[in-house]
Structure 1
């Protein structure tokens, strides 16, 4: 486990160290805007949920490609705050999701299938019933962790140090 933590921290240090210099020259960082999204009742929570960016300064950069040109490793950095709303009751919460991630994608995969995210800081992930190693819900993970997606988008979270917060429970109050 110690080796894994050192590897994740080292990988993410590359992102942070490269960002200021790359930003000054353009360095391949491009905006990665988050779109508003909605899920119906029962998909993640017992009620319909809507999320929309309040602050969105996320950027992405491809660090490595496969011979066919598809992305093998890419990073995400920048400020992101989402307003997540229980559509049925109007209850909402703003969540800071300004973490940094390095994503390794298997050839033929995408960022949400056949990939592994190494993350430092907060990020939000939704889980459908039977769709991962967490119960159905919307989670904010914060700390040092990985999230692996298999070909069917089944999510496996491995938390090395940090916290998790389940938003459906908060929004149902």
Structure 2
């Protein structure tokens, strides 16, 4: 495989992203179709807000995990739609700093989670794939095809979702820091 012969991890990420973009379906206009019927793609960037949240003990970590936003300026845009107008792919980018908190002890770690990502959706709106050029956070639950935890992913990571919502780490180039382990401290 070509990527194994490339020395630079950054160059590998660029090559993988270029391959993904070239493999993406390009919207095609039907002959004689009214161009006003479908918006021009990609659509303009718009602000997006990362909400604070708490996951109960057992979802990602053995303790309740809280994510508190310290600062953000995240944007999102639609880059592809299905013929019925439903979103097929969105891109996210922008600075995001969060505190990961073990609710039971108050122990916390502050992290940069302001990478970029592309979310691909099924026609029914369910997730199909999430591509991250990190750093960015993502959680895996019991029953997913990756060790349970909430991870700060840095580098190129692709998470796929089957029809039932089970998650799988399909591509992992870079670091995977399980913040559950970081917050739990030394064993």
Give TM-score scaled by structure 1 length.
Answer: 0.81
The corresponding residue for 1:134 is 146
- Distance change >3 Å, CA 2–CA 10, structure 1 → 2: same
The corresponding residue for 2:129 is 116
- In terms of fraction of residues, the more strand-rich structure is 1
- Comparing both chains, which one has the higher relative contact order based on Cα–Cα distances under 8 Å and sequence gaps of 6 or more? 1
Q: Which digits, 9 at most, give the CA deviation of each residue in 1:49-108, with x for residues without a partner?
A: 111111111110001111111001110010111111001110001111111112222211
Q: Report the number of matched residues.
A: 156
Kept in 2: contact 1:123–1:140 (CA 8 A): yes
The corresponding residue for 1:82 is 98
Does the residue aligned with 1:170 lie in a helix, a strand or coil?
A: helix
Q: Indicate whether 1:157 and 2:173 are aligned.
A: no
Larger radius of gyration: 2
Q: Distance in 1 between matches of 2:166 and 2:2?
A: 25
Q: Indicate whether 1:92 and 2:89 are aligned.
A: no
Q: Distance in 1 between matches of 2:133 and 2:174?
A: 9
Q: Distance in 1 between matches of 2:137 and 2:172?
A: 17
Q: Indicate whether 1:8 and 2:40 are aligned.
A: no
Structure 1 residue ranges without an equivalent (≥5): 13-26
Q: CA deviation at 1:11?
A: 5.4
Structure 2 residue ranges without an equivalent (≥5): 4-11, 22-42
Give TM-score scaled by structure 2 length.
Answer: 0.75
The corresponding residue for 1:125 is 138
